[in-house]
């Protein structure tokens, strides 16, 4: 594929990746809502939607890498889009048609969306870790082997109220 032919194809592909990233971000928001709630079915559905959205994004990313064979590492890819933008700008300068949105702008938008997805996924991971900790503490109390840390009136850690005694005190 010639460079002048690659620019519009790559632009359309990066736009498709941005749509996939927006969908992934939406599913991560839905997952966060489900994680904060108590509806197990909503959590399962949100998890399945996340897996599907991530698979779609990964599929598009693999296609982009194939499209840009040999230029798929970030630094080389960014040099490629600079070159393609420059060529498109020079080509458009001789016509009455403006160059339109650049690959650089489209790529930057995609990177920002993926940063948002990373942050949302990390936040969801923190919620999961917190819920797991709560569950382990509750199971410890129910099994009589200890539970959540408690503190005495002075703020010192106390292990007096553990196990069955903690349930009896409640």
**Residue 42, exposed/middle/buried by CB under 10 A (0-12, 13-18, 19+)?**
middle
Specify the pLDDT at position 6: 83
Q: What is the pLDDT of residue 97?
A: 45
As a whole number, the mean pLDDT across the chain is: 83
Evaluate if residue 141 carries a pLDDT over 80: yes
Tell me how far apart the alpha carbons of residues 131 and 142 are, in angstroms, rounded to a whole number.
Answer: 16
How confident is the model at residue 98, as a pLDDT? 46
The residue with tokens 């991971």 is 125
Sign of the alpha-carbon torsion through 96, 97, 98, 103 = negative
Specify whether the CB–CB gap between 35 and 106 falls below 8 A.
no
**What is residue 45's predicted lDDT score, i.e. its pLDDT?**
96
pLDDT: which is higher, 137 or 112:
112
What is the model's pLDDT at position 144?
79
Which of these ranges, 1-5, 71-75, 138-142, 151-155, has the smallest mean pLDDT? 1-5
What pLDDT, on the 0 to 100 scale, is given for residue 70?
A: 72
Q: What is the pLDDT of residue 148?
A: 55
Half-sphere exposure of 149 (CA within 13 A, CB side): 5
Region of poorest pLDDT, from 32-36, 53-57, 155-159 = 155-159
Helix ranges, 37-102 (H):
40-67, 74-93
pLDDT number for residue 73: 73
**Residue 165 scores a pLDDT above 60:** no
Write the pLDDT tens digit of every residue in 97-106. 444 568 999 9
Looking up tokens 């010639």 gives 2
**Burial (CB count <10 Å: 0-12, 13-18, 19+), residue 108:** middle
Within 8 A by CB and 6+ apart from 127, the residues are: 32, 35, 36
Q: Give the residue carrying structure tokens 């489209």.
A: 106
Q: Give the whole-angstrom CA distance, residue 69 versus residue 159.
A: 61
pLDDT in tens, 72-93: 677 888 888 888 888 877 766 5
3-state secondary structure of 146: coil
* Average of per-residue pLDDT across 110-131: 96
């Amino acid at each position: 594929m010639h460079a002048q032919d690659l620019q519009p194809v790559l632009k359309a592909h990066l736009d498709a990746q941005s749509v996939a990233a927006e969908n992934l971000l939406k599913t991560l928001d839905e997952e966060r809502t489900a994680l904060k709630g108590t509806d197990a079915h909503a959590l399962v559905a949100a998890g399945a939607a996340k897996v599907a959205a991530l698979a779609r994004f990964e599929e598009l990313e693999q296609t982009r890498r194939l499209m840009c064979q040999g230029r798929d590492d970030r630094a080389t890819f960014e040099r490629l889009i600079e070159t393609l933008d420059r060529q498109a700008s020079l080509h458009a300068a001789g016509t009455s048609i403006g160059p339109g949105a650049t690959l650089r702008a489209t790529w930057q938008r995609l990177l920002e969306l993926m940063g948002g997805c990373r942050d949302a996924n990390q936040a969801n991971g923190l919620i999961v870790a917190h819920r797991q900790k709560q569950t382990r503490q509750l199971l410890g109390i129910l099994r009589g082997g200890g539970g959540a840390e408690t503190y005495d009136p002075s703020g010192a850690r106390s292990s007096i109220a553990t196990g069955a005694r903690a349930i009896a005190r409640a």
